[in-house]
Amino acid sequence: MSIPQIGVGTFRLKEQAAIDSVRTALEVGYRAIDTGQIYDNETEVGQAIAESGIRRDQLFITTKIWIDNLAGDQLIPSLKASLKKLRTDYVDLTLIHWPSPEAAVPLNESLQALLEAREQGLTRQIGVSNFNIALLDEAVNAIGAENIATNQVEISPYLQNAKLAAFASDKGVHLTSYMTLAYGKAVQDPVLQEIAAKHGATSAQVALAWAMQEGFSVIPSSTKRANLESNLKAGDLELDEEDLGRIAGLDRGERLVDPEGLAPVWD
């Protein structure tokens, strides 16, 4: 089971905004939806999915286990609670949202609980999020790369995460890019705008197409139908070597998501 190339994210979307965004995304053609326990919108995501009338087997739903639920005796009960909110018997992908701060819960304990959740049919695939090279290596050594569907991390034209990407590729672990549009900075970027004009595209489409051509999945979010429709078409855009070279030049290690007390030591 492969990870869809593009899905819709729901980070920071609450209540009716979350319902409307997911409902619209499904209407315009998205079939992959990304949420998480800490987003406090699983209930709304579940409502939007239920009201869409789309068959469950046509959807790819991802949720993420929050740090309070990483212990071996808490992870599965918390996932079951998420499933109830999402109105589904299973999710397609369950991730460790952030590594346990100061390794309060041993990583292997959480990974074994995820394997058990998969064995019980609560999730089809498992993976991690916000893992640096050392943590990803530890995870691979613990349960094997074949059991890690993805590592979801911040990747944008301004934070291309080359060391981690090379390591993940070497280990055979797929990466999912979040914050690909850098909180909208990419939309205003002159280089991306020039490339977009060349292709009759938008700068957002260029950023997303770049990430997908690099082999990453993307999960952009929006509350606007026009943006959701436009982002979804990014997969049709093919950038050439000149475009990719210009985008490579935008990398400046600019990280936007670095929460104190949660983030590991980045590579």
For the annotated catalytic residues, the residue numbers are 39
The encoded tokens of residue 155 equal: 């990747």
Q: Distance between CA 187 and CA 202 in Å, rounded?
A: 8
DSSP 156: B
Task: Give the phi and the psi of residue 9 in degrees, each rounded to 5.
Answer: -90, 160
Burial class (CB in 10 A: 0-12, 13-18, 19+), 52: middle
Residue 174 assigned as binding residue:
no
Sign of CA dihedral 25, 150, 265, 167: negative
What lies within 8 Å, CB to CB, of 113 at 6+ separation is: 70, 71, 72, 75, 76
Sign of CA dihedral 187, 188, 189, 190: positive
**Residue ranges for the binding site for substrate?**
97
